[in-house]
Amino acid sequence: MANKILILAALLLTLGLKAQNVFYNQYGDSTRIYIVMPVSELKLSDEGSTEYRLSLNLLNSKGNSLHQSFERLLIDKDKNAYVSQPLFTITKQLATGSYALITNLENLRFGDKTERNYIVNIETNKKKEILTAIVSENNDFTFLPADYTELNQKVSACGLILDTFSVCDSIVLKANIDDSLHYFRIEKDNGYEYDLMHILAGGVIRSLELMYYTGNIIASTDWLFYKPVNRYSSLYSLQDQLGQIKYIASQNEWRQIKKIAAKNESKAVEYFWDRHDTTPDNAINDFRELFYGRILKADELFTIHKKMPGWKSDRGRIFIRKGPPDDISEENFPIGQKPYIIWRYFSDNTIYRFVDKSGYGNFTLEDESYEF
């Protein structure tokens, strides 16, 4: 393993899978598949290190094996305390089609095994969006840092790698180093490559932002970590995503979405977002990103238990459709009544009253007719 830390900002196409830990990107004639193994899912020893053995098996639609490999992962809780998401990769020349990826993770210390199956759909005509992720590597293994604390750990090398893509003319990296802003132009070549060691050596990185230039259009993103970038797709299955889309789809759209979803749920999701790209000249669909952010925030604010995620709650649904309310009032111990919360939206003069009928914090919309 080369002692190099790579920061990858590319056209990452995420897979619509439940408990998703896999995404892929295409580099020229090659497809690179990334497999993420969050440390939170691993059983680690409180003393010393824990060794895992990961087997990777990539099959084509006929069941023939195209790739087999074994990886070793040795994690010391003290030494590697900042590492949260170890990463493994497969690079192959893959034609358009569907592939099965089977991962088998074995804990060599405790003996437990975990097998997972993923479907990788390679679509050459799929609309691509610029998404980003930071890929880092220390002397022990490759990993995806979750935040700037992990990024600013001592490293031996650091580089910015981007795909050459036609959706933008140039890219500028905006870096906040010790509260001082610096701008670095990334030249377009057979691929974007930029050494970041001088940035890390300059001080503590407070933030990084990529600015994309296409003609007179400028788009930017500061979502450079795997957690925020791919967090949505990693948390929600395609069925979940379709259920969320139903909140904002018209009746005619929903009928068409259901027809498409009956054959291909992934295409149904993309069909909706292709129709609702509020910034078609930009590489990033701003409305989609806004929607994703509201879903994640709804889960953060309104989740009661695992069987009732926040986005499925009444407050979550209104929050996703309309955003945060302009005014909130609540009464936790009203005399002779159940606890209630009132949301007000000034822009359209609407009021929503949520009542905790069960007494367990599950606030439901008092009159669903108010929603329409």
- Phi, psi (deg, nearest 5) at residue 104: -130, 110
Rounded average pLDDT over 361-372: 73
Q: Are residues 328 and 196 in the same domain?
A: no
Picking from 210, 225, 5, the residue whose alpha carbon sits closest to that of residue 134 is 225
**Which residue, of 170, 197, 227, is where some domain finishes?**
227
- In-domain check, residue 177: yes
Q: Are residues 307 and 165 in the same domain?
A: no
**Which residue, of 177, 198, 227, is where some domain finishes?**
227
- In-domain check, residue 264: no
Q: Are residues 199 and 342 in the same domain?
A: no
Q: Which domain holds residue 352?
A: 303-372
Cα 292 to Cα 297: distance, rounded to the nearest angstrom: 9
- In-domain check, residue 239: no
Q: Are residues 148 and 23 in the same domain?
A: yes
Decide: pTM greater than 0.85.
Answer: no
Q: Are residues 74 and 222 in the same domain?
A: yes
Q: Are residues 308 and 184 in the same domain?
A: no
Q: Are residues 210 and 313 in the same domain?
A: no
Q: Are residues 180 and 315 in the same domain?
A: no
- In-domain check, residue 285: no
pLDDT in tens, 213-242: 877 777 777 666 765 445 576 678 888 999
DSSP bridge pairs for 71: 54
- In-domain check, residue 363: yes
- In-domain check, residue 248: no
Q: Are residues 152 and 54 in the same domain?
A: yes
Q: Are residues 74 and 198 in the same domain?
A: yes
**CATH number of the domain encompassing residue 106:** 2.60.40.10
Picking from 24, 18, 19, 80, the residue whose alpha carbon sits closest to that of residue 49 is 80
The pLDDT assigned to 193 comes to: 63
Does 245 have pLDDT greater than 80?
Answer: yes
| Number of domains into which the chain is organized | 2
pLDDT in tens, 85-138: 888 889 899 988 889 899 998 999 888 888 888 878 787 654 444 445 666 767
Q: Are residues 314 and 211 in the same domain?
A: no
pLDDT in tens, 185-221: 887 664 556 778 888 889 999 998 888 787 777 777 7
- In-domain check, residue 252: no
Q: Are residues 220 and 312 in the same domain?
A: no
**Which residue, of 206, 227, 248, is where some domain finishes?**
227
Does 82 have pLDDT greater than 50?
Answer: yes
Cα 258 to Cα 278: distance, rounded to the nearest angstrom: 23
Does 337 have pLDDT greater than 60?
Answer: yes
- In-domain check, residue 253: no
